Structure 1
Amino acid sequence: MTLTATIEGVGFWAPGVPGWDAALALVRDGTHVDNAPSRPSPQLLPPNERRRAPDSVAVALDVALAACAAAERDPKTLPSVFASMHGDLAITDYMCATLASQPDAVSPIKFHNSVHNAAAGYWTIGAGAMAPATSVSAYDATFAQGLIEACVQLATGAEAVLLVAFDAASTGPLARAQPSEGLLGGALVLSRGDRGPRLTLSLRDGTVGEPEGALAQCAAHNAMRPMLPLFQALAANTPHCTLRAGPGRVLDVEIVHG
Structure 2
Amino acid sequence: MSVFTTHIEGIGLWAPSLPGWPTARAVFRGEAAAQHPPLPVPPPLMLSLAERRRAPQTLALALAASEEAIRASGQDASGLRAVFCSAHGDLPVIDHLCSTLVDTPLLLSPTRFLHAIHNAPVGLWSMLNHNTHANTAVSGAAHSFACGLLEALVLCEAERCPVLLTAYDTAAVGALQHTTRSAGALAVALVLSPGCNGRTQAVWRWRLTPDRVAEPALRSGAARALSGNGMSGALPVFEALARGEQTAIALPLSTHQALHIDWASGPPEAPEPVLAAATGCNT
TM above 0.5, one fold? yes
- Equivalent-residue separation in structure 2 for 1:106 and 1:202 (angstroms): 46
Give the equivalent residue in structure 2 for 1:245. Answer: 253
247-256 or 30-39, larger mean C-alpha shift: 30-39
Superposed counterparts of 1:51-200, under 5 Å: 51-194=53-196, 195-200=200-205
**Once the two structures are superposed, what CA deviation does each residue of 1:188-224 show, in whole Å capped at 9, x if it has no partner?**
0000112331112222212213641224234121011
Give the equivalent residue in structure 2 for 1:233. Answer: 240
Counterpart contact for 2:9–2:190, Cα < 8 Å: yes
1:201 aligns with 2:206: yes
**Once the two structures are superposed, what CA deviation does each residue of 1:75-126 show, in whole Å capped at 9, x if it has no partner?**
1110100011111111112222222333211112211101001111110111
> Aligned AA for 1:226?
G
Rg larger in 1 or in 2?
A: 2
> Aligned AA for 2:19?
P
- Equivalent-residue separation in structure 2 for 1:210 and 1:94 (angstroms): 34
Taking only aligned residues, the RMSD between alpha carbons, in angstroms, comes to 1.7
> Aligned AA for 2:119?
N
In structure 2, stretches of 5+ residues that fail to align are: 268-283
Counterpart contact for 1:211–1:228, Cα < 8 Å: no
Q: Structure 1 residues 35, 97: closer, same or farther in 2, change over 3 A?
A: closer
**Once the two structures are superposed, what CA deviation does each residue of 1:141-175 show, in whole Å capped at 9, x if it has no partner?**
11111111111112212410000000011112222
In structure 1, stretches of 5+ residues that fail to align are: none
89-98 or 229-238, larger mean C-alpha shift: 89-98
Give the equivalent residue in structure 1 for 2:266. Answer: 257
Paired residues, number: 258
- Equivalent-residue separation in structure 1 for 2:108 and 2:21 (angstroms): 37
Counterpart contact for 2:168–2:188, Cα < 8 Å: yes
- Equivalent-residue separation in structure 2 for 1:86 and 1:33 (angstroms): 26
Give the equivalent residue in structure 2 for 1:11. Answer: 12
Tell me the TM-score normalized by structure 1: 0.94
- Equivalent-residue separation in structure 2 for 1:216 and 1:232 (angstroms): 8
- Equivalent-residue separation in structure 2 for 1:203 and 1:174 (angstroms): 34
Identity between Structure 1 and Structure 2 (%): 35
Give the equivalent residue in structure 1 for 2:227. Answer: 220
> Aligned AA for 1:55?
Q
Counterpart contact for 2:66–2:166, Cα < 8 Å: yes
